[in-house]
A and B are shown apart, each in its own frame.
Chain A
Amino acid sequence: MVALTELTEMYADMVTARHYEERLQEEYLEGKQPAFDISAGPIPGELHLAAGHEAAGAGVCQHLRDDDTVTAPHRPHHVAIAKGVDLKRMTAEIFGRETGLGKGKGGHMHLFDPDVSFACSGIIAEGCPPAAGAGLAAKKRNTDSVAVAYLGEGAIDQGAFLESLNFAAVHDLPVVFVIEDNDWAISMPKERVTDLEDGSKRADGFDMPGRRVDVDDAVAVYDAAREAVGRARDQNGPTLLEIQVHRRMGHFMGDPESYRPEADQAAAAQRDSIERLADDLRAAGTDDAELEDLRAEAEARVEEAIEWAKDQPKPDPAAAHEDMWVNPPSGVTDSEPDFDLAGGED
């Protein structure tokens, strides 16, 4: 049994994430009509939205503390929300504003919030090695922090992932690798690029537990993650999880998805982890009015973040040249001591 408070928290994260993506989609498409122009509108660059992935974010991060590290891939918002990343500053970053998490330098694929140990990267599987490194730090310092690396099912063929599995396994690092399987690597269906239906079986070759959560269900994810995170926190080593999720929007905004069968799109739209969790909450005694309140609160929070972000100043162009270093270019010193290296010779 999952405690009602935990179900409620997960539900709040999930409806926040869903509404967030739907609202970002609207904002992003503004100025992109009648023809889609990636350079137009209030949100710069590419945008990879995670509607349909919410259970994987909430079900895992429900077990995490602020000092537990999470690395996410290019589709990061739902994980960031579940990890507790500052929603306003994340949104400001996505809108390319000065008060964003990265002062408008990083963008939506490159969000960093050290307050809750969250980071993401736009290169496939490249969050895996740093997650292993966070686990290594926890082990060396003998803390009970853990690290979680999220990746897509397309990323399980990438060297960075496979090398990280071995690295984490051989050093017994407190890391959980979470594969979000949405069946599609952009236009490439899973079976075309990976000769393995269940990605969690990759764990077998590295002598670590692997488990697939076959339904897009937050409670099932929560249960699987409890075991995996617990194992890491107890310093018993890494685990690989695969979670079936669904890609309800395109790979990126602007993806015509002409390669994708309509039946597949329709199926992704129907199996909804949020509705499933709502049913669980009702079964646990939450009434519809309370669910509606949770939704309304989430929506208000999202609206507030978006309004705040859009109100923030755009970065001063001169700031493009700042933030290259933390120390001065010369390092920790700008002077060199005067030694007599000639040993007294003239």
Chain B
Amino acid sequence: MSDDGDRVAVTLAEWPDDADSDEGVVVNWFIRQGAAVDPETSLCEVQIEKVSVDVLAPVAGTLEEIVVSEDGEFARGDTLAWMDPDDE
């Protein structure tokens, strides 16, 4: 069983430059929980104020757990999901 030590957190890598807010909303998930993806696959779309940004898969692996569901709010740095990386 994997524990948090093995899982990889999915976060928004770069917060939009011109955003005043430290909060955002998850607008759309594109990958279902349990599905395998390649690295850089667009996992979900988030919106901060008026700007929408895609969140990409940090590694190849399985989208193990969606933490912030659609319409859910999150703060800068929050984990949006956990991925179970493929074995090297």
Contact = CB atoms under 8 A, between A and B. Distances in A.
- Determine whether A and B are in direct contact in the complex, meaning some CB atoms lie less than 8 angstroms apart: yes
A283 interface: no
Contacts, number: 26
A258 B51 contact: yes
Interface of B is mostly: strand
Interface of A is mostly: loop
Q: Which bracket fits the contact residues of B? A: 10 to 19
B50 A256 contact: yes
A178 B12 CA distance: 46
Interface in B14-49: 21, 23-25, 27, 47-49
Contacts of B47: 35-36
A254 B48 contact: no
A36 B51 CA distance: 9
Contact of A255 (B21, B23, B50): B50
B65 interface: no
B73 interface: yes
A34 B25 contact: yes
Interface string A14-44: 0000000000000000000111100000000
6 contacts: A33-B49, A34-B48, A36-B47, A256-B49, A256-B51, A258-B51
Shortest 8 CB-CB distances between A and B: which pairs?
A: A35-B25, A34-B23, A35-B47, A256-B50, A36-B50, A256-B51, A34-B21, A254-B50
Interface of B: 21, 23-25, 27, 47-51, 73
Interface of A: 33-36, 254-256, 258
